[in-house]
Amino acid sequence: MTTTTRVTLACALSATALLTGVAAPAATATPAGHGSHTGHSARQIPFTAAEVTARDDGTYEITWKAPGVREVAVRANGRTVAAGGSTGRVTVSGLPAADRQWFDLVPDRGQRLRLADRLIALDGAVNFRDAGGYRTKDGQWVRMGAVYRTDSLDRLTDADLAKLRRLGISVDYDLRTASERASAPDRLPAGVRYVVADVLGDDSPVFSMPTTAAEAEQMMIDGERTMVSGANAKAAYATVFSGLARDADGALYHCTAGKDRTGWAGATLLTVLGVPRETVMADYLASNEYRAEANAAALAAMPAQQAAVYKPMLDVRAEYLNSGFDEVEDAYGSFAAYEKKALGLDAGELRRLKADLLVG
């Protein structure tokens, strides 16, 4: 690669298009149930934290915190598999193989939580994960099993397609450019509705390939701001969020690496739903974990100098996402104004989205 190579912002933001590999799965909790939360007390869901980690040996580690609760039963496949007190850490083994292993945390008071490992293990994608499973500022929870985020879908196997069919995927929002879509078209189960929501557009800005790591970092920061205020970006994300407001169940959105354009979509969704910023950031940064093996392999195949320049484009970093939130403040004054002016969400749509995706 020479310093005169020209790339579009789309190429820079999808620098991991050639990568393969599988990261270790991990997950957080979601409550069981579905529907409006109007009038519900946050005390109805006593869990303040909960997580499932699926291990390579087929076991599951489950942790939780539920202040004020005396006993929590852990149930899977219709039977109790572990138990503990208000704070717990258990390992469960011997469960049959499943597309997703769900666990119910059943407290002695209040609503249960339903948990699954966050990653959806696929042969042809490394960053396909549940967008839900987070606690909001007021103690509600974002429902798992409804909305998914992922990297490219062009390498899905027939087995992967069967798994997506069983997951109930019904609509695919493709955030990529026309050239990306042409070179790596999505593979989808029959009947899934396909929606183009091109964040960058065919006339996306053109950049010189950075020659230093600092230039690469700045390019990613500038790119994040473009995803907030760019005309194509506003139209694309408005398409996604208006669709989610109508029906979020079985929806997925993706770009090439599932970390930049998809990362902003995920951060926006969680922020709209009232998830704390630190949790939003943790979800965004999780792409580094899920893509770790693939990114390391790509960098190892490059000369050291080139790898040093490429690494910031393969990473997600706090300063990248923070630049997006800074652009929201600079361009719109508040996130609420961004929801209305850029995403086009009115009060009714916001209520429907929260009623659909929040429980507790």
* 145-191 residue pLDDT tens: 999 999 999 999 999 999 999 999 999 999 999 999 999 999 999 99
**Which three-class secondary structure state does DSSP give residue 62?**
strand
Q: Are 96 and 14 in contact (CB under 8 A)?
A: no
Q: Are 209 and 7 in contact (CB under 8 A)?
A: yes
> Considering the domain boundaries, does residue 148 fall inside one?
yes
| Residue 158 amino acid letter | D
In terms of Cα–Cα distance, which of 134, 36, 136 is closest to 359? 36
Angle, helix 231-246 to helix 347-357, in steps of 10 degrees: 60
Distance, in Å, from the CA atom of 173 to the CA atom of 196, rounded to the nearest integer, reads 6
User: Has residue 12 got a pLDDT over 80?
Assistant: no
Domain count, the chain: 1
Percent of the chain with pLDDT over 70: 86
pLDDT score recorded for residue 23: 35
**Residue 35 pLDDT level (bands cut at 50, 70, 90):** very low
- Which CATH number belongs to the domain containing residue 283 in this structure? 3.90.190.10
Percent of the chain with pLDDT over 90: 84
> Considering the domain boundaries, does residue 90 fall inside one?
no
pLDDT score recorded for residue 38: 38
> Considering the domain boundaries, does residue 290 fall inside one?
yes
Q: What is the mean pLDDT of residues 72-95?
A: 97
pLDDT score recorded for residue 202: 78
Per residue in 235-261, pLDDT (tens digit) is 999 999 999 999 999 999 999 999 999
**Residue 360 pLDDT level (bands cut at 50, 70, 90):** confident
Q: Are 93 and 70 in contact (CB under 8 A)?
A: no
CA–CA distances in Å: residue 106 to residues 60, 75, 83, 134, 357: 17, 7, 9, 17, 21
Q: What is the mean pLDDT of residues 293-303?
A: 96
Q: Which position has the higher pLDDT, 324 or 115?
A: 324
**Residue 315 pLDDT level (bands cut at 50, 70, 90):** very high
Distance, in Å, from the CA atom of 33 to the CA atom of 158, rounded to the nearest integer, reads 31
The vertex-176 CA angle with 175 and 178, nearest 5°, equals 130
Q: Tell me the residue range of the domain where 216 lies.
A: 6-24+119-359
Q: What is the mean pLDDT of residues 27-43?
A: 44
**Residue 40 pLDDT level (bands cut at 50, 70, 90):** very low
Report, as residue numbers or ranges, the catalytic residues: 255
Distance, in Å, from the CA atom of 36 to the CA atom of 357, rounded to the nearest integer, reads 8
> Considering the domain boundaries, does residue 195 fall inside one?
yes
> Considering the domain boundaries, does residue 238 fall inside one?
yes
Distance, in Å, from the CA atom of 223 to the CA atom of 260, rounded to the nearest integer, reads 9
CA–CA distances in Å: residue 21 to residues 52, 99, 151, 313: 22, 19, 12, 17
Distance, in Å, from the CA atom of 11 to the CA atom of 356, rounded to the nearest integer, reads 35
Q: What is the mean pLDDT of residues 23-28?
A: 40
Distance, in Å, from the CA atom of 129 to the CA atom of 19, rounded to the nearest integer, reads 17
Distance, in Å, from the CA atom of 251 to the CA atom of 181, rounded to the nearest integer, reads 19
> Considering the domain boundaries, does residue 72 fall inside one?
no
> Considering the domain boundaries, does residue 181 fall inside one?
yes
Distance, in Å, from the CA atom of 32 to the CA atom of 37, rounded to the nearest integer, reads 13
> Considering the domain boundaries, does residue 173 fall inside one?
yes
